[in-house]
Amino acid sequence: MNVTQFLILLSLCCATIKCSKILIMPMDFGYNSRLMNMLKMGKVLLGAGHQITMMVSDNIEKDAMYKMAEKNSVTSFEVIRYPMPVMDQTTLNQDWLNSMMEVSVFESIKQLVDFHCLIFSHSMKVWDQIANEHFDLIIADEAMISARLVSASLNIPLITYINWGPMSGEVGYVQRFNLAYVPAFMTAVTDTMSFTERISNIWEYFHLQIAMSGIYEKLIVICREYGYGNACDNIQDSPKTVSLVFINRNDALHYPAPFMPHVISIEGIFIDKPKPLSQHYADIIEQAGNNGIIVVSFGSMFRRLWPELSTIFAKAFAAMPQTVIWSYEGPTPEGLGNNTIVNKWIPQEDLMNHPATKLFVTQCGAASTFQAMNNALPTIGIPFFWDQPYNCRLLSDRIKSGKTVSLKDITSEKLQHAMEDVIKDRTYKENADKAAAIYHDQPIPPRDKVIYWAEYVIRHKGAPHLRSQAANELNFFQYFLLDIIGMVCVMCIIVGIIVILMIKKTISFFTNLGKRKLD
Protein backbone atom coordinates (compact mmCIF):
# COMPACT_ATOMS: atom_id res chain seq x y z
CA MET A 1 0.00 0.00 0.00
CA ASN A 2 1.46 3.36 -1.08
CA VAL A 3 1.20 6.62 0.84
CA THR A 4 -1.74 7.89 -1.22
CA GLN A 5 -3.80 4.74 -0.60
CA PHE A 6 -3.00 4.90 3.10
CA LEU A 7 -4.14 8.54 3.35
CA ILE A 8 -7.38 7.74 1.50
CA LEU A 9 -8.08 4.82 3.84
CA LEU A 10 -7.28 6.97 6.87
CA SER A 11 -9.65 9.72 5.70
CA LEU A 12 -12.43 7.17 5.14
CA CYS A 13 -11.96 5.82 8.66
CA CYS A 14 -12.08 9.32 10.11
CA ALA A 15 -15.24 10.04 8.15
CA THR A 16 -17.08 6.92 9.31
CA ILE A 17 -15.84 6.68 12.88
CA LYS A 18 -16.63 9.48 15.29
CA CYS A 19 -14.80 9.51 18.59
CA SER A 20 -17.22 10.88 21.16
CA LYS A 21 -16.33 12.40 24.50
CA ILE A 22 -18.06 10.60 27.36
CA LEU A 23 -17.97 11.61 31.03
CA ILE A 24 -18.45 8.76 33.51
CA MET A 25 -19.42 9.73 37.06
CA PRO A 26 -19.35 6.79 39.51
CA MET A 27 -20.44 7.05 43.14
CA ASP A 28 -17.06 7.18 44.81
CA PHE A 29 -17.03 6.41 48.54
CA GLY A 30 -14.29 3.82 48.52
CA TYR A 31 -13.82 0.80 46.29
CA ASN A 32 -16.95 -1.33 45.87
CA SER A 33 -18.97 -3.03 43.12
CA ARG A 34 -20.61 0.25 42.05
CA LEU A 35 -17.26 1.85 41.26
CA MET A 36 -15.79 -1.39 39.88
CA ASN A 37 -18.68 -1.84 37.44
CA MET A 38 -18.51 1.71 36.13
CA LEU A 39 -14.76 1.38 35.59
CA LYS A 40 -15.49 -1.72 33.51
CA MET A 41 -18.15 0.18 31.56
CA GLY A 42 -15.56 2.85 30.84
CA LYS A 43 -13.11 0.27 29.55
CA VAL A 44 -15.76 -1.18 27.22
CA LEU A 45 -16.51 2.23 25.71
CA LEU A 46 -12.81 3.10 25.58
CA GLY A 47 -12.24 -0.09 23.58
CA ALA A 48 -14.96 1.06 21.17
CA GLY A 49 -12.87 4.11 20.29
CA HIS A 50 -14.45 6.78 22.48
CA GLN A 51 -12.62 9.30 24.63
CA ILE A 52 -13.53 8.50 28.22
CA THR A 53 -13.14 10.84 31.16
CA MET A 54 -13.63 9.35 34.62
CA MET A 55 -14.68 11.71 37.40
CA VAL A 56 -13.52 10.41 40.79
CA SER A 57 -12.49 11.79 44.14
CA ASP A 58 -8.85 12.44 44.89
CA ASN A 59 -9.00 9.68 47.53
CA ILE A 60 -9.78 6.64 45.42
CA GLU A 61 -6.23 5.94 44.30
CA LYS A 62 -5.21 5.80 47.97
CA ASP A 63 -7.81 3.11 48.73
CA ALA A 64 -6.11 -0.18 49.67
CA MET A 65 -8.76 -2.39 48.07
CA TYR A 66 -8.67 -0.35 44.88
CA LYS A 67 -4.91 -0.79 44.64
CA MET A 68 -5.20 -4.57 45.04
CA ALA A 69 -8.12 -5.09 42.66
CA GLU A 70 -7.64 -2.44 39.96
CA LYS A 71 -3.89 -1.87 39.73
CA ASN A 72 -4.61 1.87 39.27
CA SER A 73 -6.91 1.40 36.25
CA VAL A 74 -8.30 4.94 36.61
CA THR A 75 -5.22 6.19 34.78
CA SER A 76 -6.42 4.34 31.65
CA PHE A 77 -8.80 7.27 31.18
CA GLU A 78 -8.72 11.01 31.21
CA VAL A 79 -9.39 11.88 34.85
CA ILE A 80 -11.19 14.72 36.61
CA ARG A 81 -10.56 14.60 40.35
CA TYR A 82 -12.71 16.43 42.84
CA PRO A 83 -11.45 17.09 46.38
CA MET A 84 -12.90 15.01 49.18
CA PRO A 85 -11.94 14.64 52.85
CA VAL A 86 -10.76 11.20 53.84
CA MET A 87 -13.84 9.12 54.63
CA ASP A 88 -13.29 5.43 55.25
CA GLN A 89 -16.73 3.86 55.27
CA THR A 90 -15.66 0.56 53.79
CA THR A 91 -13.17 -1.77 55.40
CA LEU A 92 -12.03 0.08 58.50
CA ASN A 93 -15.01 1.90 59.96
CA GLN A 94 -16.83 -1.01 61.57
CA ASP A 95 -18.93 1.25 63.78
CA TRP A 96 -20.48 2.87 60.71
CA LEU A 97 -21.24 -0.52 59.15
CA ASN A 98 -22.79 -1.76 62.37
CA SER A 99 -25.02 1.31 62.57
CA MET A 100 -26.23 0.67 59.01
CA MET A 101 -27.14 -2.92 59.89
CA GLU A 102 -29.15 -1.95 62.94
CA VAL A 103 -31.61 0.35 61.14
CA SER A 104 -34.08 -0.05 58.31
CA VAL A 105 -33.20 0.82 54.72
CA PHE A 106 -35.12 4.07 55.02
CA GLU A 107 -33.43 5.09 58.25
CA SER A 108 -30.06 4.40 56.63
CA ILE A 109 -31.10 6.63 53.71
CA LYS A 110 -31.84 9.44 56.15
CA GLN A 111 -28.45 8.91 57.78
CA LEU A 112 -26.81 9.29 54.38
CA VAL A 113 -28.33 12.72 53.70
CA ASP A 114 -25.24 14.56 54.93
CA PHE A 115 -23.01 12.18 52.98
CA HIS A 116 -24.91 12.87 49.73
CA CYS A 117 -24.75 16.60 50.40
CA LEU A 118 -20.99 16.36 50.97
CA ILE A 119 -20.41 14.41 47.74
CA PHE A 120 -22.63 16.84 45.84
CA SER A 121 -20.96 20.02 47.05
CA HIS A 122 -17.41 18.69 46.59
CA SER A 123 -18.02 17.28 43.10
CA MET A 124 -19.30 20.70 41.98
CA LYS A 125 -15.89 22.22 42.69
CA VAL A 126 -14.66 21.03 39.28
CA TRP A 127 -17.59 22.53 37.35
CA ASP A 128 -15.46 24.72 35.09
CA GLN A 129 -13.28 21.77 34.17
CA ILE A 130 -16.37 19.76 33.16
CA ALA A 131 -17.91 22.63 31.19
CA ASN A 132 -14.73 23.25 29.20
CA GLU A 133 -14.56 19.65 27.94
CA HIS A 134 -17.83 19.80 25.89
CA PHE A 135 -18.90 16.22 26.53
CA ASP A 136 -21.32 14.39 24.22
CA LEU A 137 -22.71 12.09 26.92
CA ILE A 138 -22.73 11.55 30.67
CA ILE A 139 -23.06 8.09 32.23
CA ALA A 140 -23.52 8.35 35.97
CA ASP A 141 -24.37 6.24 38.98
CA GLU A 142 -27.96 6.93 40.03
CA ALA A 143 -26.71 8.24 43.38
CA MET A 144 -24.30 10.73 41.79
CA ILE A 145 -26.78 13.58 42.08
CA SER A 146 -24.40 16.20 40.66
CA ALA A 147 -24.66 14.45 37.27
CA ARG A 148 -28.32 15.50 37.06
CA LEU A 149 -27.34 19.13 37.52
CA VAL A 150 -24.48 18.95 35.02
CA SER A 151 -26.78 17.35 32.45
CA ALA A 152 -29.47 20.01 32.84
CA SER A 153 -27.12 23.01 33.00
CA LEU A 154 -24.86 22.04 30.09
CA ASN A 155 -27.56 20.30 28.02
CA ILE A 156 -25.70 16.98 27.88
CA PRO A 157 -27.69 13.73 27.49
CA LEU A 158 -27.60 11.60 30.64
CA ILE A 159 -27.62 7.83 31.06
CA THR A 160 -27.99 6.72 34.65
CA TYR A 161 -26.71 3.38 35.95
CA ILE A 162 -28.42 1.37 38.70
CA ASN A 163 -26.13 -1.21 40.26
CA TRP A 164 -29.03 -2.76 42.19
CA GLY A 165 -30.85 -3.83 39.04
CA PRO A 166 -34.55 -2.84 39.09
CA MET A 167 -34.22 -1.74 42.73
CA SER A 168 -33.62 2.01 42.57
CA GLY A 169 -33.64 4.65 45.25
CA GLU A 170 -35.28 6.90 42.66
CA VAL A 171 -38.74 5.41 42.14
CA GLY A 172 -39.23 7.35 38.89
CA TYR A 173 -36.33 5.77 37.00
CA VAL A 174 -37.87 2.29 36.89
CA GLN A 175 -41.62 2.76 37.27
CA ARG A 176 -43.52 0.16 39.28
CA PHE A 177 -46.62 -0.39 37.18
CA ASN A 178 -48.18 -2.85 39.57
CA LEU A 179 -46.88 -3.13 43.13
CA ALA A 180 -48.88 -6.31 43.60
CA TYR A 181 -46.11 -8.33 41.96
CA VAL A 182 -43.09 -6.03 41.88
CA PRO A 183 -41.04 -5.62 45.08
CA ALA A 184 -40.91 -1.91 45.91
CA PHE A 185 -37.30 -1.48 46.99
CA MET A 186 -34.86 -3.98 48.47
CA THR A 187 -37.66 -5.95 50.10
CA ALA A 188 -36.88 -9.62 50.58
CA VAL A 189 -40.18 -10.72 49.05
CA THR A 190 -40.94 -12.65 45.88
CA ASP A 191 -43.34 -11.75 43.08
CA THR A 192 -46.00 -13.84 44.84
CA MET A 193 -46.87 -11.94 48.00
CA SER A 194 -49.32 -12.57 50.80
CA PHE A 195 -51.82 -9.89 51.84
CA THR A 196 -49.56 -8.63 54.65
CA GLU A 197 -46.52 -8.62 52.33
CA ARG A 198 -48.43 -6.52 49.80
CA ILE A 199 -49.37 -4.04 52.53
CA SER A 200 -45.72 -3.84 53.57
CA ASN A 201 -44.62 -3.47 49.95
CA ILE A 202 -46.99 -0.56 49.34
CA TRP A 203 -45.89 1.13 52.58
CA GLU A 204 -42.21 0.84 51.69
CA TYR A 205 -42.85 2.26 48.21
CA PHE A 206 -44.35 5.47 49.60
CA HIS A 207 -41.92 5.54 52.52
CA LEU A 208 -39.07 5.56 50.01
CA GLN A 209 -40.58 8.51 48.16
CA ILE A 210 -40.80 10.47 51.41
CA ALA A 211 -37.21 9.60 52.39
CA MET A 212 -35.79 10.58 48.98
CA SER A 213 -37.79 13.82 48.91
CA GLY A 214 -35.99 14.85 52.09
CA ILE A 215 -32.62 14.30 50.42
CA TYR A 216 -33.63 16.18 47.28
CA GLU A 217 -34.92 19.19 49.22
CA LYS A 218 -31.57 19.63 50.97
CA LEU A 219 -29.61 19.15 47.74
CA ILE A 220 -31.74 21.66 45.86
CA VAL A 221 -31.11 24.23 48.60
CA ILE A 222 -27.34 23.67 48.24
CA CYS A 223 -27.66 23.84 44.45
CA ARG A 224 -29.47 27.18 44.52
CA GLU A 225 -26.83 28.55 46.89
CA TYR A 226 -24.28 27.76 44.14
CA GLY A 227 -26.43 29.86 41.79
CA TYR A 228 -27.55 27.24 39.26
CA GLY A 229 -31.18 28.41 39.23
CA ASN A 230 -33.82 26.35 37.43
CA ALA A 231 -31.34 23.59 36.56
CA CYS A 232 -31.51 22.57 40.22
CA ASP A 233 -35.03 21.26 39.63
CA ASN A 234 -33.54 18.39 37.61
CA ILE A 235 -32.16 16.94 40.85
CA GLN A 236 -35.71 15.77 41.59
CA ASP A 237 -37.11 15.79 38.05
CA SER A 238 -34.39 13.74 36.33
CA PRO A 239 -36.74 10.78 35.63
CA LYS A 240 -38.51 13.19 33.24
CA THR A 241 -35.29 14.12 31.41
CA VAL A 242 -32.94 11.11 31.61
CA SER A 243 -32.20 9.52 28.22
CA LEU A 244 -31.64 5.92 29.30
CA VAL A 245 -31.49 3.89 32.50
CA PHE A 246 -28.96 1.04 32.54
CA ILE A 247 -29.94 -1.60 35.10
CA ASN A 248 -27.77 -4.48 36.27
CA ARG A 249 -30.47 -7.12 35.73
CA ASN A 250 -31.08 -10.49 34.07
CA ASP A 251 -34.23 -12.51 33.36
CA ALA A 252 -32.77 -15.66 34.87
CA LEU A 253 -32.18 -13.94 38.20
CA HIS A 254 -34.79 -11.21 38.62
CA TYR A 255 -38.55 -11.41 38.66
CA PRO A 256 -40.36 -10.68 35.37
CA ALA A 257 -41.66 -7.13 35.15
CA PRO A 258 -42.64 -4.65 32.42
CA PHE A 259 -40.11 -1.93 31.67
CA MET A 260 -40.27 1.16 29.49
CA PRO A 261 -38.10 1.19 26.31
CA HIS A 262 -35.56 3.53 27.90
CA VAL A 263 -34.77 1.00 30.65
CA ILE A 264 -31.98 -1.25 29.36
CA SER A 265 -30.71 -4.42 31.07
CA ILE A 266 -26.93 -4.65 30.73
CA GLU A 267 -26.47 -7.92 32.59
CA GLY A 268 -23.15 -9.66 32.32
CA ILE A 269 -21.07 -6.73 31.09
CA PHE A 270 -19.16 -6.78 34.36
CA ILE A 271 -18.16 -10.44 34.30
CA ASP A 272 -14.52 -10.77 33.28
CA LYS A 273 -13.18 -13.73 31.39
CA PRO A 274 -11.39 -16.07 33.82
CA LYS A 275 -7.61 -16.01 33.87
CA PRO A 276 -5.27 -18.90 34.72
CA LEU A 277 -4.62 -19.17 38.44
CA SER A 278 -1.21 -18.38 39.84
CA GLN A 279 0.94 -21.30 40.90
CA HIS A 280 0.17 -20.48 44.54
CA TYR A 281 -3.56 -21.08 44.13
CA ALA A 282 -3.05 -23.96 41.69
CA ASP A 283 -1.05 -25.75 44.40
CA ILE A 284 -3.76 -25.09 46.99
CA ILE A 285 -6.41 -26.63 44.73
CA GLU A 286 -4.21 -29.63 43.97
CA GLN A 287 -3.66 -30.26 47.69
CA ALA A 288 -7.42 -30.02 48.30
CA GLY A 289 -7.90 -33.15 46.23
CA ASN A 290 -11.38 -34.52 45.54
CA ASN A 291 -12.94 -32.49 48.36
CA GLY A 292 -12.41 -29.32 46.36
CA ILE A 293 -12.54 -25.77 47.69
CA ILE A 294 -15.02 -23.27 49.12
CA VAL A 295 -14.63 -19.60 48.15
CA VAL A 296 -15.68 -17.06 50.80
CA SER A 297 -16.01 -13.35 50.18
CA PHE A 298 -18.22 -10.70 51.79
CA GLY A 299 -17.37 -7.93 49.36
CA SER A 300 -15.28 -4.83 49.81
CA MET A 301 -17.22 -3.49 52.80
CA PHE A 302 -17.06 -6.57 55.04
CA ARG A 303 -13.42 -7.54 54.79
CA ARG A 304 -13.20 -6.93 58.54
CA LEU A 305 -15.76 -8.39 60.92
CA TRP A 306 -16.40 -8.08 64.62
CA PRO A 307 -14.69 -10.86 66.66
CA GLU A 308 -17.86 -12.80 67.56
CA LEU A 309 -18.95 -13.14 63.93
CA SER A 310 -15.52 -13.90 62.52
CA THR A 311 -15.16 -16.65 65.13
CA ILE A 312 -18.50 -18.17 64.13
CA PHE A 313 -17.39 -18.22 60.50
CA ALA A 314 -13.93 -19.59 61.28
CA LYS A 315 -15.27 -22.50 63.35
CA ALA A 316 -17.84 -23.41 60.70
CA PHE A 317 -15.21 -23.38 57.95
CA ALA A 318 -12.82 -25.44 60.08
CA ALA A 319 -15.44 -28.21 60.33
CA MET A 320 -15.68 -28.62 56.56
CA PRO A 321 -13.63 -31.24 54.64
CA GLN A 322 -13.04 -28.75 51.81
CA THR A 323 -10.24 -26.22 51.66
CA VAL A 324 -11.66 -22.76 52.36
CA ILE A 325 -10.21 -19.67 50.68
CA TRP A 326 -11.49 -16.57 52.50
CA SER A 327 -11.02 -12.96 51.40
CA TYR A 328 -10.49 -11.30 54.77
CA GLU A 329 -8.13 -8.73 56.26
CA GLY A 330 -9.12 -8.46 59.92
CA PRO A 331 -7.36 -9.95 62.94
CA THR A 332 -6.95 -13.72 62.82
CA PRO A 333 -10.27 -15.19 64.04
CA GLU A 334 -10.38 -17.56 66.96
CA GLY A 335 -10.90 -21.17 65.87
CA LEU A 336 -9.43 -20.73 62.39
CA GLY A 337 -8.82 -24.20 60.93
CA ASN A 338 -5.80 -25.55 59.11
CA ASN A 339 -8.04 -25.96 56.06
CA THR A 340 -8.80 -22.23 55.88
CA ILE A 341 -6.57 -19.86 53.92
CA VAL A 342 -7.09 -16.15 54.62
CA ASN A 343 -5.82 -13.45 52.27
CA LYS A 344 -6.52 -9.73 51.95
CA TRP A 345 -7.20 -10.20 48.27
CA ILE A 346 -8.04 -13.32 46.26
CA PRO A 347 -8.61 -13.84 42.50
CA GLN A 348 -12.31 -14.34 43.23
CA GLU A 349 -13.74 -14.74 39.73
CA ASP A 350 -10.88 -17.01 38.63
CA LEU A 351 -11.34 -19.26 41.66
CA MET A 352 -15.12 -19.37 41.18
CA ASN A 353 -14.67 -20.50 37.59
CA HIS A 354 -12.46 -23.43 38.58
CA PRO A 355 -14.20 -26.85 38.54
CA ALA A 356 -12.75 -27.67 41.97
CA THR A 357 -14.92 -24.96 43.59
CA LYS A 358 -17.91 -26.59 45.31
CA LEU A 359 -19.52 -23.62 47.03
CA PHE A 360 -19.51 -19.84 47.23
CA VAL A 361 -20.23 -18.17 50.59
CA THR A 362 -21.22 -14.57 50.00
CA GLN A 363 -23.05 -11.52 51.35
CA CYS A 364 -24.95 -11.40 48.00
CA GLY A 365 -23.68 -8.07 46.77
CA ALA A 366 -24.59 -7.12 43.20
CA ALA A 367 -21.28 -8.28 41.69
CA SER A 368 -21.05 -11.46 43.77
CA THR A 369 -24.61 -12.48 42.88
CA PHE A 370 -23.91 -12.25 39.15
CA GLN A 371 -20.58 -14.02 39.55
CA ALA A 372 -22.29 -16.92 41.31
CA MET A 373 -24.88 -17.22 38.54
CA ASN A 374 -22.30 -16.80 35.77
CA ASN A 375 -20.17 -19.65 37.15
CA ALA A 376 -23.13 -21.92 38.05
CA LEU A 377 -22.03 -22.07 41.67
CA PRO A 378 -24.24 -23.17 44.59
CA THR A 379 -24.27 -20.51 47.28
CA ILE A 380 -24.69 -19.80 50.95
CA GLY A 381 -25.98 -16.26 51.24
CA ILE A 382 -25.36 -14.32 54.46
CA PRO A 383 -26.85 -10.84 53.86
CA PHE A 384 -25.81 -7.85 55.93
CA PHE A 385 -27.88 -4.91 54.68
CA TRP A 386 -29.33 -2.86 51.78
CA ASP A 387 -29.80 -4.94 48.59
CA GLN A 388 -28.16 -8.06 50.00
CA PRO A 389 -31.27 -9.73 51.55
CA TYR A 390 -33.10 -9.19 48.25
CA ASN A 391 -30.24 -10.70 46.20
CA CYS A 392 -29.91 -13.67 48.55
CA ARG A 393 -33.63 -14.28 48.17
CA LEU A 394 -33.23 -14.32 44.39
CA LEU A 395 -30.54 -16.99 44.60
CA SER A 396 -32.24 -19.16 47.20
CA ASP A 397 -35.92 -18.77 46.20
CA ARG A 398 -36.01 -17.87 42.50
CA ILE A 399 -33.00 -19.78 41.15
CA LYS A 400 -32.99 -22.22 44.10
CA SER A 401 -29.23 -22.59 43.85
CA GLY A 402 -28.47 -22.19 47.54
CA LYS A 403 -29.59 -21.27 51.03
CA THR A 404 -29.82 -18.03 52.95
CA VAL A 405 -28.53 -17.90 56.53
CA SER A 406 -29.69 -14.98 58.66
CA LEU A 407 -27.18 -13.09 60.78
CA LYS A 408 -29.75 -12.65 63.56
CA ASP A 409 -29.48 -16.20 64.87
CA ILE A 410 -26.41 -17.51 63.08
CA THR A 411 -24.22 -20.12 64.77
CA SER A 412 -21.26 -22.16 63.60
CA GLU A 413 -23.42 -25.28 63.60
CA LYS A 414 -26.18 -23.70 61.50
CA LEU A 415 -23.70 -22.39 58.96
CA GLN A 416 -21.86 -25.71 58.82
CA HIS A 417 -25.08 -27.71 58.28
CA ALA A 418 -26.23 -25.29 55.58
CA MET A 419 -22.92 -25.62 53.70
CA GLU A 420 -22.99 -29.41 53.98
CA ASP A 421 -26.58 -29.60 52.71
CA VAL A 422 -25.93 -27.42 49.68
CA ILE A 423 -22.76 -29.30 48.70
CA LYS A 424 -24.27 -32.78 49.16
CA ASP A 425 -27.65 -32.12 47.55
CA ARG A 426 -27.10 -32.14 43.77
CA THR A 427 -30.34 -30.23 43.20
CA TYR A 428 -28.67 -26.95 44.10
CA LYS A 429 -25.91 -27.47 41.55
CA GLU A 430 -28.42 -28.54 38.89
CA ASN A 431 -30.47 -25.41 39.48
CA ALA A 432 -27.33 -23.28 39.30
CA ASP A 433 -26.44 -24.92 35.96
CA LYS A 434 -29.93 -24.17 34.58
CA ALA A 435 -29.74 -20.54 35.61
CA ALA A 436 -26.25 -20.16 34.13
CA ALA A 437 -27.44 -21.64 30.81
CA ILE A 438 -30.30 -19.10 30.64
CA TYR A 439 -27.99 -16.30 31.69
CA HIS A 440 -25.48 -17.03 28.92
CA ASP A 441 -28.18 -17.47 26.26
CA GLN A 442 -28.49 -13.83 25.18
CA PRO A 443 -29.21 -12.54 21.64
CA ILE A 444 -26.81 -9.60 21.99
CA PRO A 445 -23.58 -9.69 24.02
CA PRO A 446 -24.10 -7.28 26.95
CA ARG A 447 -20.94 -5.33 26.17
CA ASP A 448 -22.13 -4.73 22.60
CA LYS A 449 -25.48 -3.62 24.03
CA VAL A 450 -23.79 -0.95 26.17
CA ILE A 451 -21.79 0.36 23.22
CA TYR A 452 -24.84 0.43 20.94
CA TRP A 453 -27.12 2.28 23.35
CA ALA A 454 -24.47 4.79 24.41
CA GLU A 455 -23.78 5.60 20.76
CA TYR A 456 -27.54 5.67 20.05
CA VAL A 457 -28.02 8.45 22.60
CA ILE A 458 -25.03 10.35 21.21
CA ARG A 459 -26.29 10.05 17.61
CA HIS A 460 -29.74 11.36 18.49
CA LYS A 461 -28.54 13.84 21.13
CA GLY A 462 -30.74 12.18 23.74
CA ALA A 463 -33.62 9.72 23.66
CA PRO A 464 -36.77 11.51 24.86
CA HIS A 465 -38.86 9.46 22.42
CA LEU A 466 -38.18 6.33 24.51
CA ARG A 467 -39.45 7.92 27.71
CA SER A 468 -43.12 7.76 28.70
CA GLN A 469 -44.41 11.28 29.20
CA ALA A 470 -47.62 9.94 30.71
CA ALA A 471 -45.79 7.91 33.34
CA ASN A 472 -43.87 11.01 34.42
CA GLU A 473 -46.56 13.67 34.05
CA LEU A 474 -49.70 11.99 35.40
CA ASN A 475 -50.42 12.84 39.03
CA PHE A 476 -51.10 10.22 41.68
CA PHE A 477 -54.86 10.13 41.09
CA GLN A 478 -54.50 9.92 37.32
CA TYR A 479 -51.69 7.35 37.40
CA PHE A 480 -53.65 4.90 39.54
CA LEU A 481 -56.97 5.77 37.80
CA LEU A 482 -58.41 7.02 41.07
CA ASP A 483 -60.09 9.92 39.25
CA ILE A 484 -61.89 7.49 36.93
CA ILE A 485 -62.76 5.15 39.79
CA GLY A 486 -64.06 8.16 41.74
CA MET A 487 -66.12 9.33 38.76
CA VAL A 488 -67.62 5.85 38.30
CA CYS A 489 -68.43 5.69 42.02
CA VAL A 490 -70.09 9.11 41.92
CA MET A 491 -72.08 8.14 38.84
CA CYS A 492 -73.13 4.88 40.47
CA ILE A 493 -74.23 6.78 43.57
CA ILE A 494 -76.17 9.31 41.48
CA VAL A 495 -77.82 6.58 39.41
CA GLY A 496 -78.55 4.66 42.61
CA ILE A 497 -80.17 7.71 44.22
CA ILE A 498 -82.24 8.35 41.08
CA VAL A 499 -83.35 4.72 40.97
CA ILE A 500 -84.26 4.76 44.66
CA LEU A 501 -86.22 8.01 44.26
CA MET A 502 -88.01 6.60 41.21
CA ILE A 503 -88.88 3.43 43.12
CA LYS A 504 -90.16 5.52 46.05
CA LYS A 505 -92.21 7.70 43.71
CA THR A 506 -93.59 4.63 41.96
CA ILE A 507 -94.50 2.94 45.24
CA SER A 508 -96.04 6.20 46.50
CA PHE A 509 -98.03 6.57 43.26
CA PHE A 510 -99.52 3.09 43.37
CA THR A 511 -100.16 3.38 47.12
CA ASN A 512 -102.09 6.61 46.64
CA LEU A 513 -103.91 5.12 43.62
CA GLY A 514 -105.01 2.16 45.73
CA LYS A 515 -106.28 4.44 48.48
CA ARG A 516 -108.37 6.45 45.95
CA LYS A 517 -110.01 3.27 44.65
CA LEU A 518 -110.89 2.17 48.20
CA ASP A 519 -112.41 5.55 48.89
Q: Mean pLDDT for each consecutive 10-residue tract of the chain (519 residues)?
A: 44 54 88 84 92 87 72 79 65 56 64 75 86 94 91 94 85 81 78 87 84 86 88 91 93 89 84 84 92 90 82 94 92 90 89 94 91 94 87 92 91 95 96 94 88 95 89 80 92 94 87 69
**Residue 247: beta bridge partners?**
162, 265
How many beta carbons lie within 10 A of that of residue 507, not counting itself? 10
What integer pLDDT is reported at residue 72 of this predicted model? 65
State the pairing for strand pair 293-297/323-327.
parallel
Rounded CA-CA distance 309/300 in Å is 17
**What are the DSSP E strand ranges found in 248-322?**
263-265, 293-297
Tell me the pTM: 0.85
| Class of the CATH domain delimited by 22-267+446-467 | alpha beta
* Whether the Cβ atoms of residue 204 and residue 287 lie closer than 8 Å to each other: no
Rounded CA-CA distance 343/351 in Å is 13
Per CATH, which fold does 279-440 belong to? Rossmann fold (3.40.50)
What integer pLDDT is reported at residue 352 of this predicted model? 93
**Residue 23: beta bridge partners?**
53, 138
Residues of the chain with CATH 3.40.50.2000: 22-267+446-467, 279-440
